[in-house]
Amino acid sequence: MSEIILRTENLGIAFGAHKAVNDVTIGIEKGKFTTILGPNGAGKTTFFNLVSGLLTPTTGKIFFKGTDVTSLSPIERVSLGMGRSFQLTNVFPTLTAYENVRLAAQSYEKVGFKIFTNHNKFSKVNEKTEEILERVLLHNKKDELASNLTHGEQRKLELGMVLALDPEVLLLDEPTAGMAIEEVPAMIDILKKTHTAGTTIVLIEHKMDMVKMLSDRLSILVNGALIADGDPDTVSKNPEVLAAYLGGGVIDAEATFASKG
């Protein structure tokens, strides 16, 4: 049995009478690519916000590498090896692509901000920055201000900033949101290589070609509750998934969730 690197136990959060995440128990296997699917309003992003520490659960616990992290801050979870990207691009627009990634790398290496020290003296940080920019296909844009990059390039830059923190688990909330269709294959390639390099990835995504191509496992949320969790072929045949997520369309469901090839 594979090692469980991230686990939630009866996790829930309520906003008034509304249970946005409802008693979710799930184990994320180390080294696997898991995609979380569900209709709009299913609680997917709220679940990510709980796991990454942006929200405090009403009920339940979160375990990362066997440690209860439920009460830890987002920064403390990052320091343990948890990375997170958001639906909305989150970069420093007045800094260059290089500076954005270097700041993240400095944070990870605990160099900090030293106003009177030339950044060129931090050779390890600079080497890492160059390597990350290559990985996210932005090395040729390293001197461009982030505000001048295309939306797709900004999404890659945000991913680069997260990768500079060397996460063991990467939580990605619709990393291709707003991207031009021709930019999506490059992002898929980056994610494939990141996963192949050993990073555990948990993805929220609506582009089914990506889901089929990348996923080892699917977890389906509906109305805040986990209704199915397993390999794509098994989940595609789950009656609850067919009824709740795809309106009962068996043929469409199996085409949508076909195992990656």
Q: Cα(235)–Cα(214) distance, rounded to whole angstroms? A: 15
Sheet strands side by side (includes 200-204): 82-84, 169-173, 200-204, 33-37, 217-222, 225-230
Question: Whole-prediction pTM value?
Answer: 0.87
Query: Which tens digits make up the pLDDT trace of 200-253?
Result: 999 998 877 788 889 999 999 999 999 999 998 888 888 888 886 555 443 344
Q: What is the pLDDT of residue 261?
A: 40
Query: Which tens digits make up the pLDDT trace of 150-162?
Result: 999 999 999 999 9
Report the candidate in 109, 155, 153 with the shortest Cα–Cα distance to residue 128: 109
Residue ranges and CATH numbers for the domains of the chain are 1-81+167-261 (3.40.50.300), 90-166 (no CATH)
